[in-house]
Amino acid sequence: MHTTTDQLTQQSPCHYGLRMTAEEYFQLGESQERYELIDGVVCMSPSPTRMHQAILMEVAHQIATYLKSHPVGVVYPEIDVFLGKGLNDRDLVFRPDVTFITNEHAERSGHQISGPPAMIVEIVSPSSRRFDKETKKSDYERFQVAEYWIIDPQANELIFYRLEDGRYVPQPLTDESFTSRAIEGFRLNLAAVRALFK
């Protein structure tokens, strides 16, 4: 049984564990808590660490700087992304650390991003490692997110997946940069990112 809109406005700030649709989830509005809607259930994650935020800002800054002179899309840190229906036919809304959408996608989006972005970045924390590397990878692949970047500072890992024939294929890293296809012409400076793994 879904929570009604009136009930949502009367709830306390903590919505952890509530079952709702994506429409109801977006009616919660902005909050200081970090929520995601996973198979129709509201889940909350701890606040990020300083290192996590430093890495997020570095990646988002590199992309944003590139987009100023190559306006092929838009980059967002920590924004809700409504992917669609999960495996149990319930709504799935993730909040990736960094999301890139093309200009075409931006033009057809309203206040929220609906549908698979061109690229998503998740920065792994010890509590999210399996979720980021298994659950989210599987969901992003199923919804055909063109590139999925996983940054795991504790394991000193940078993993880049690219869709090839509908399946994720890890991309080899042969130098100090990664060339994206999802963000046309963009090269991520890996040394600048690794320098924050402290």
What CATH number does residue 170 fall under?
A: 3.90.1570.10
Residue 10 lies in a domain: no
Domain boundaries, position 143: 50-78+95-194
Residue with tokens 């949502």: 8
Q: Which residues contact 146 (CB under 8 A, 6 or more apart)?
A: 116, 118, 119, 162, 163, 181, 182
**Mean of the pLDDT values across residues 106-125?**
92
Residue with the bigger pLDDT between 129 and 46: it is 129
Residue pLDDT, tens place only, 150-162: 999 999 999 999 9
pLDDT of residue 4: 39
Residue 140 lies in a domain: yes
Residue 16 lies in a domain: no
128 pLDDT tier (thresholds 50, 70, 90): confident
Residue 40 lies in a domain: no
**Mean of the pLDDT values across residues 141-145?**
96
**Mean of the pLDDT values across residues 107-117?**
89
Residue 188 lies in a domain: yes
The answer to which of 39-48, 124-133, 182-191 has the lowest mean pLDDT is 39-48
Q: Give, in degrees to the nearest 5, the angle at Cα 26 between 57 and 85.
A: 95
pLDDT of residue 12: 40
Number of domains in the chain: 1
Statement: residue 10 has pLDDT above 70: no
Residue 173 lies in a domain: yes
**Mean of the pLDDT values across residues 93-111?**
92
110 pLDDT tier (thresholds 50, 70, 90): confident
Answer positive or negative: Cα dihedral of 128, 129, 132, 138.
negative
Residue 30 lies in a domain: no
The answer to which of 12-21, 84-93, 113-122 has the lowest mean pLDDT is 12-21
Contact call for residues 153 and 136 (beta carbons, < 8 A): no
Residue pLDDT, tens place only, 35-76: 767 666 677 666 678 999 999 999 999 999 999 999 999 999
The answer to which of 39-53, 74-88, 96-110 has the lowest mean pLDDT is 39-53
Q: What is the full DSSP assignment across the chain? A: -PPPHHHHHHS-S--TT-B--HHHHHTT---SSEEEEETTEEEEEPPPPHHHHHHHHHHHHHHHHHHHHS-SEEEEES--EEEEE-TTS-EEEE--SEEEEEHHHHHH--SSEES--SEEEEE--TTTHHIIIIIIHHHHHHTT-SEEEEEETTTTEEEEEEEETTEEEEPP--SSEEE-TTTTT-EEEHHHHHTT--
In whole numbers, what is the pLDDT of the chain averaged over residues? 85
pTM over cut 0.85: no
Statement: residue 8 has pLDDT above 80: no
Residue 44 lies in a domain: no
132 pLDDT tier (thresholds 50, 70, 90): confident
